[in-house]
A and B are shown apart, each in its own frame.
Chain A
Amino acid sequence: MQRLDEGALRALVPRVLAGLVRRGEDFDAAEDALQEALLEALRVWPEHPPRDPRAWLTTVATRRLVDAHRSEVARQRREETAYAEPPPVATEEGDDTLFLLFCCCHPDLAPASQVALTLRAVGGLATREIADAFYVPEATMAQRISRAKRALHGRRLDQPGDLAVVLRVLYLVYTAGHAGRVDLAREAIRLARQLTLATEEPEARGLLALMLLNHARLPARLDAEGRIVTLDRQDRSLWNTREIAEGVRVLQSALATQTEERPPGRYQVEAAIAALHADAASAEQTDWPQILAWYDELVALTEDPVREDPAAVLGRAVAVGHVLGAAAGLRETDRLREAIGERHRWHAVRGHLHELDGDLPAAAAAYAEAARRATNVAERDHLVRQAARARVDASREWTLTSSGVRVSPPLDKGATRR
């Protein structure tokens, strides 16, 4: 008996499915048939490994489709024409992936449906795994997927899709990966890597680079108790240097294609910022002026960044704080008060900048306000800790000052942080 390589099996999913859909099968029916073929494979292969797994899956899925067609007399004729056609021509793996990503990320589908369908039809994940990743009941996820497939029914799927939507969906998969039980982050990286084989678009490589660079820092992001560790206090020896090197390489190959008319898009810019953080041997050695320059590029990508891309303006405010001083950074955040003043992140950034400024009571108040507005338990707990720590540091400083002892300058983090 042979152990099944599930990774290899899942890698076949988009290729087989794309072959069926290209041949003219309905996406919905073909996907169902392939899922049944996969279950069959898990049952049969350990005893009888196929010589050509891809052909095996195609044959079994086709048989299921024939059965399904037969059960509908009205579709009998279509079946005959369909199978009279010559067998599909072998296509490159990358083409299949891209083709299927365009199907799954159809602009008519809601983002949650695009994500679910992509994970199942391109990622080859089981409905149960996708449901676990998003903490919803399996029946709910099954329904979401089948509604999405029904929405695709009868749509022409032979037109090139919107690559920007595909990139956004993959990034959604990646960010969801940090919260769930299934490693969606790794899955998103795998899909993005496949996508870069299928398209020359530099933004696809920018996205892959961004994911790799962020993923490299993941092992340092939480401590043993699951507490958030901020970038400036992370143990950099835990960062994955292999992923950082690959991320930088992928990013450089994308940036090399830029021209005067075609400046780098947002994923490349965000990856460049991540690369600069990853490149610093310590927090103190962070190249903030360079980071600020990239943030300038990022906010220049939208007409009205305060309204259209407040997250970029907020990130830039932090960089401004480190380059031009905390007061300048705080002034930058003032512009965002109307747009995102209700959000916890705005208050958290102001807390950080007040702390940088040495105004610990204001920092404590801002962190506490951020904690009240947080929508994630780990972040809420982290912000409560920051508030409590800043408050204690503030009172300690006050005691020392009033007792005539000279206090270390507030910017010396070693003295105030533990």
Chain B
Amino acid sequence: MPKYLLLKHYRGGPEPHHPFPPMDQWAPEDVEAHMAFLRRVSEVLEESGEYVGAQALTPKRTWVRYGGPDAAPVTTDGPHPETSDLVAGWYMIDVESYERALEIAAFVSSEPGPGGEPLYEWIDVREVMSGAPSEG
């Protein structure tokens, strides 16, 4: 069974389906509905036996590289900190097929936003390379 990483982004990706304000500016009941839906996603995946893991990332990013011998690591917050992609978190799933991975990603993307309308958020679907060589 292939594993997939479903990545959610703070920013970046294709043109959004429609614009929406940051969550702290939504109506409290819409915030609740959104959070309840995300809890439900993990439950659904655990029930179906497809859940591997899920993590959220803070938005603070630091780029770092080797500074050379006897030098401290070199850090920067990026060439275009306001425009580059920024991953917000992921679900790792273990599924039968690529099609199933897309189905789950679309389910995640249907999360309710302001007014209870789906966000239609773009989800980045990436297949995880398997560690062991394939048989045969």
Contact = CB atoms under 8 A, between A and B. Distances in A.
Contact of B24 (A226, A371, A373): A371
Interface residues on B, range: 10 to 19
Interface of B: 22-28, 31-32, 35-36, 39, 56, 58-60
Contact of A391 (B25, B39, B56, B60): B25
Given A364-B24, A368-B22, A368-B24, A388 B59 contact: no
A375 B36 CA distance: 20
A224 to B, nearest CB: 12
B62 to A, nearest CB: 13
Interface stretch (A41-49, A176-184, A333-341, A379-387): A379-387
Nearest to B54: A377
Contacts of B26: 388
A389 B28 contact: yes
A255 to B, nearest CB: 40
B106 to A, nearest CB: 23
A389 B32 CA distance: 11
Given A372-B59, A373-B60, A388-B24, 16 more contacts: A225-B39, A226-B39, A373-B58, A384-B31, A385-B28, A385-B31, A387-B24, A388-B23, A388-B25, A388-B26, A388-B27, A388-B28, A388-B31, A391-B24, A391-B25, A392-B28
Nearest to B26: A388
B49 to A, nearest CB: 19
A374 interface: yes
B97 to A, nearest CB: 28
Given A225-B36, A226-B39, A374 B58 contact: yes
Contacts of A391: 24-25
10 contacts: A226-B39, A364-B24, A374-B58, A380-B56, A384-B23, A388-B23, A388-B27, A388-B31, A391-B25, A392-B28
B35 A381 contact: yes
Interface in A217-254: 225-226
Contacts of B36: 225
A99 interface: no
Contacts of A385: 28, 31-32
A267 interface: no
A392 B35 CA distance: 18
A384 B28 CA distance: 9
B26 to A, nearest CB: 6
A253 B103 CA distance: 61
A88 B56 CA distance: 52
A102 interface: no
Interface string A108-152: 000000000000000000000000000000000000000000000
